[in-house]
Amino acid sequence: MKYRYALVLLLGLTACTNPAKEAPAGTYYDLKTYIEKQISELQKQKPTVVKRAGFGEEEEQQTTKDIDWSRELDLFLQADINKQAYQTSYQKSRPDSLTYEYTLKSTERLPVRFLRIELDSVTHQPRRIKATLRTKNSLYESERNVWLETEKGRIKQYHIDGFQQLAWLDAKPFSVEGNIK
């Protein structure tokens, strides 16, 4: 009897969970899977990266192998729009057979405003990804423009720039650029 009650309780709790669902296959390009694969490969390979970062007036450059790739490429994961709740939120465009463009409809309020994925003509893997993410509320506003380029299916360069602004302060520009050797 105890076990039956525990089983019913467990089934009831799992039925109440609502995991984030991805959009049906083919709705949007599967950016998440691609970026997760790149993160996994970069974590294994530990390549040398020449990284430049700036915030406001300050800027620094370093050469390192010690990078948390999940954190470094997080904005590219955030640019993934392949979620079921988003499936009607974007205008799709195919300027050519190797390019996907998604623009947020004017009636929608989602963080990813624009996403462009250009595929390599030989490998059909992304060769360039570009996205604009924007967050705005009564206390805070930010915009992040991200892009990356690949060579032979591997990320070779990535760039993030934008600004952050609290309602009562001036906007602070920031940028991060990495060149993978």
Residue pLDDT, tens place only, 99-119: 999 999 999 999 999 999 999
Does residue 16 form part of some domain? no
Does residue 41 form part of some domain? yes
**Tens digit of each residue's pLDDT (9 = 90 or more) over 48-87:** 999 999 988 889 999 999 999 999 999 999 999 998 888 8
Cα–Cα distances in angstroms (integers) from residue 179 to residues 21, 44, 132, 146, 155, in the given order: 34, 17, 20, 14, 9
Does residue 23 form part of some domain? no
Does residue 11 form part of some domain? no
- Alpha-carbon gap, residue 42 to 44, rounded angstroms: 5
**Residue 179 phi/psi, 5° resolution?**
-115, 120
Cα–Cα distances in angstroms (integers) from residue 22 to residues 28, 30, 81, 156, in the given order: 10, 10, 9, 28
Confidence of residue 129 (pLDDT cuts 50, 70, 90): very high
Does residue 25 form part of some domain? no
Closest by CA position to 143, among listed 135, 154, 151: 135
Per-residue pLDDT averaged across 2-12, rounded?
36
Q: What is the mean pLDDT of the chain?
A: 86
Q: Give how many domains the chain has, as a whole number.
A: 1
Residue type, 86: Y
Does residue 4 form part of some domain? no
**Tens digit of each residue's pLDDT (9 = 90 or more) over 47-56:** 999 999 998 8
Q: What is the pTM of this model?
A: 0.81
Domain limits at 172? 30-180
